Amino acid sequence: MSREDVIDRLYDKLKILSDSVWDRHHSLPHIEEWASQFTEAPEIPDDERIQALYLLSNFIYFGQREIRALLVSLYRDLFRAPMIRTIRKRLGGTSDLAALHAEYEHTLAHTRFLGVGNPSESGSHLLYYFRQENSLAKTSFLSSHQIFDRIQNEGAATVRVRDQDVEHYVFIDDLCGSGTQAEEYSRDLVDPLKHLNPNAKVHYLVLFGTTNGLQKIRELNRYDFVDSVFEIDESFKCLSDDSRIFSTGDPHFDRAKTLETCMRLGAQLWPSHPLGYKDGQLLIGFSHNTPDNTLPIFWAETGATKAWTPMFKRYHKIYG
């Protein structure tokens, strides 16, 4: 197959992705603008532009429609179904649907859903869709600052759990990559919550979770339930030895050379994490943002030493 044939084949696939999966938010001219930043070469394995287009053709993108469907699965499969199983077991294995429904409604009334991070971050952003898609009451939701009350008593401040009737706290996020954010959250919120209310159950539920990240969170033993709708194993690290996209044996696409390209450009865009945060190596993005665990060549806009036009722009956290 000639170089032109390979490029045509890639663009045929990318056009389909642009018209369907990407909802035309990332057009062929946009792809061309992004791809033009990579150098070309006569030999296909040496052509950085072809390497980039191949990675792009394997990029996993979730639009608003898909995110809403995943949030239905998160509630139904990771919270509601396990709760009903627990209730049925507690009621001696009953098949009485009315009794199960009544007990579940009682559990739901004593449950609060929260986003991971502050109200401006993606975890909280998802709660709006989560509430709509699962027909939940606004009273079922909290911001993290509403968990505790600070009581001033004779000049000394004490902290207590604001609502002692809450039995389940369910933290929701889009992605658990390295597990760093959930670990920090557990230290700052879950530990004091458990100390003040040992009977509270704390859930950490995400749309996507890497196998290593989820395991790291489970090993903290701070959350009572840790789960994801979709688990991302090591084969999703696109440039690793076990990469699923280079497992086909297609001679046109060389993993080692693509890794070299991504390392070199990534080092100019994000020197401390050239392949994504903590070596994430992911090819994943959402309509509301692109995780920093994804390769920087897709989302970086202004690098440490290089200006760059992103394919899937990332909106960074701004501290100040």
For the chain, give the DSSP string. Answer: --HHHHHHHHHHHHHHHHHTTTTTSS-HHHHHHHHTTS---SSGGG-HHHHHHHHHHT-EEE-HHHHHHHHHHIIIIIIIHHHHHHHHHHTTS---HHHHHHHHHHHHHTEEEEESSSTTSHHHHHHHHHHHHTT--GGGB--GGGSEEEEEETTEEEEEES-TT--EEEEEEEEESSSHHHHHHIIIIIHHHHHH-TT-EEEEEEEEEEHHHHHHHHHHT--SEEEEEEEE-GGGSTTSTT-GGG-S--TT--HHHHHHHHHHHHHHH-TT-TTSTTS--B-EEESS---TTB-HHHH-SB-SS-B---SS--------
pLDDT digits (tens, 9 = 90+) for 170-225: 999 999 999 988 888 888 899 999 999 999 999 999 999 999 999 999 999 999 99
71 and 44 share one domain: no
Rounded-to-integer distance, Cα 221 and Cα 261, Å: 40
Q: Is 92 found in the same domain as 204? A: yes
The pLDDT assigned to 304 comes to 63
Of 157 and 263, the structure prediction assigns the larger pLDDT to: 263
* Contact in structure between 176 and 206 (CB atoms under 8 Å): yes
Q: What is the mean pLDDT of the chain?
A: 91
| Distance in angstroms (rounded) separating the CA atoms of residues 170 and 108 | 11
Query: 98 and 210: one domain?
Result: yes
Residues 85 and 228 both lie in one domain: yes
Q: Are residues 8 and 88 in the same domain?
A: no
pTM of the model: 0.91
pLDDT score for 34: 95
Indicate the range of 2-6, 65-69, 97-101, 238-242 predicted with least confidence: 2-6
pLDDT at 318: 42
Q: Among 176, 125, 173, 119, which Cα is nearest to 145's?
A: 119
pLDDT tens digits for range 16-54: 988 888 766 778 889 999 999 999 999 888 999 999 999
Considering the domain architecture, whether residues 80 and 180 belong to the same structural domain is answered as: yes
The reply to whether 251 falls in a domain is no
Between strands 60-62 and 111-115, the pairing is unpaired
* Whether residue 116 is found in the same domain as residue 177: yes
Q: What pLDDT score does 298 carry?
A: 97
Is 281 found in the same domain as 183?
A: no
Q: What is the CATH number of the domain that holds 189?
A: 3.40.50
What is the band of 319 on the pLDDT scale with cuts at 50, 70, 90? very low
Residue 92 has pLDDT above 70, yes or no: yes
CB 194 within 8 A of CB 186: no
Let me know if residue 221 belongs to a domain.
yes
- Same domain membership, residue 81 and residue 34: no
- Mean of pLDDT values over 150-179: 89
Whether residue 180 is contained in a domain is answered as yes
pLDDT bracket for residue 320 (50, 70, 90): very low
Please check whether residue 223 lies inside any domain of the structure: yes
Q: By residue range, what is the domain housing residue 286?
A: 3-58+266-299
Q: What is the pLDDT of residue 153?
A: 76
Same-domain status, 54 and 89: no
Closest to 277 in 3D by CA, of 181, 162, 147, 208:
181
The number of domains in the chain is 2
Q: Is the dihedral of CA 132, 134, 137, 140 positive or negative?
A: negative
**Both 82 and 218 in a single domain?**
yes
Q: Clarify whether residues 42 and 94 are in a common domain.
A: no
